[in-house]
Amino acid sequence: MKSIKVGLLGIGTVGGGVFNVLKRNHDEILRRAGIGIEIAMVADLDTARATALVGPGVQVVADARAVIANPEIDIVVELIGGYGIARQLVLEAIEAGKHVVTANKALLAVHGTEIFSAAHRKGVMVAFEAAVAGGIPIIKSLREGLSANRIEWIAGIINGTTNFILSEMRDKGLDFDVVLKEAQRLGYAEADPTFDIEGVDAAHKAALMSAIAFGVPVQFDKAYIEGITRLAAQDIRYAEQLGYRIKLLGITKKTPKGIELRVHPTLVPNKRLIANVEGAMNAVMVHGDAVGTTLFYGKGAGSEPTASAVIA
Ligand code: HSE
């Protein structure tokens, strides 16, 4: 039987996870998809490391365009990150008639309109489950599971690094810089961690959820964004004394005046479920007119949780 052939652009933390999970769960995925999914080609600048990871059965190249040009490849998975070369390669892959999977929230938040309309013109899909809240299947839930609802609002902890920092500062009284270094060591933080701590990464994700929930273009440029860099240990302590936790929330809401899109530190009463989401975990609350409030919880970053969403 023919299998679906996938080309990976970039095999770092997430790409390595995708390769391992696809291999480990091959039979299970075949049973569910009805067809095998095979990584046939990998592009990475570090070809030696990539070859050591994937073994002899997979073609490894340094040039991502060789993957896009390969007529055997059905799906291109972009795991490079950033807006530069990643944008170019995604557009070229679409132009070549490939379906694209990306975990790149920054790219879609800023260039989503251009990318989605190119895909629409070519009749291919751009799938991005992994771009929002890592392993939590929130895109699928908004698109399908909650499709009967008018979504009224979404509020979520959608950046693991900042939630980890806030949790560790509160729990262990550690300093901001120490915890940020630990988040980087654990592979949660963005290549440029200012995207995490200034709320930009959460705003990328909130903008994507807002577009899906309310059927509007991706409007990251209109978001109000405030990160956690101006919070002191003292703020966290005072909040605690008053019965609150400080959480960096990404919020989007339909109001009579329009759609709100904002990211900022928020006082959450400590009895609320979402106030107890600790460490690098993510949680997204979605309120629909029929279903009421729902809460989705899980790992928002890391190799295999993100791989789970890429493969889905
Ligand atoms: N830097 C992101 C986070 C990674 O900390 O949540 C997952 O998008």
| Predicted pLDDT of residue 1 | 66
Q: Is 156 helix (H, G, I), strand (E, B) or coil?
A: strand
Chain Cα centroid distance, residue 194: 17
Residue 136 · residue 183 · CB < 8 Å = no
Residues 260, 261, 267, 273, Cα dihedral to 10°: 100
For residue 300, how far is its CA from the centre of ligand 1 (angstroms)? 6
- CATH code, 3-127: 3.40.50.720
Residues 116, 122, 128, 129, Cα dihedral to 10°: 120
Positions in the chain whose pLDDT score sits under 50: none
Residue 42 phi, psi dihedral angles, 5° rounding: -130, 135
Give the position, in ligand 1's atom list, of the atom nearest the Cα of 131: 8
Does ligand 1 lie within 6 Å of residue 188's CB atom? Answer: yes
- CATH code, 138-300: 3.30.360.10
The span from the CA of 212 to the CA of 78, in Å, is 21
Does ligand 1 lie within 6 Å of residue 199's CB atom? Answer: no
Active site residue 205: yes
| Closest by Cα among 266, 262, 265 to 225 | 262
| Predicted pLDDT of residue 140 | 98
pLDDT in tens, 89-134: 999 999 999 999 999 999 999 999 999 999 999 999 999 999 999 9
pTM of the model: 0.96
| Predicted pLDDT of residue 63 | 98
Indicate the domain borders of the chain: 3-127, 138-300
| Closest by Cα among 169, 154, 160 to 250 | 154
Q: Is 259 helix (H, G, I), strand (E, B) or coil?
A: strand
| Predicted pLDDT of residue 69 | 98
pLDDT in tens, 73-94: 999 999 999 999 999 999 999 9
Sheet with 244-255, edge to edge strand ranges: 224-225, 258-269, 244-255, 151-157, 281-288, 292-299
| Predicted pLDDT of residue 2 | 86
Give the position, in ligand 1's atom list, of the atom nearest the Cα of 282: 6
Alpha-carbon distances, residue 68 vs 29, 57, 151, 303 (angstroms): 24, 19, 37, 24
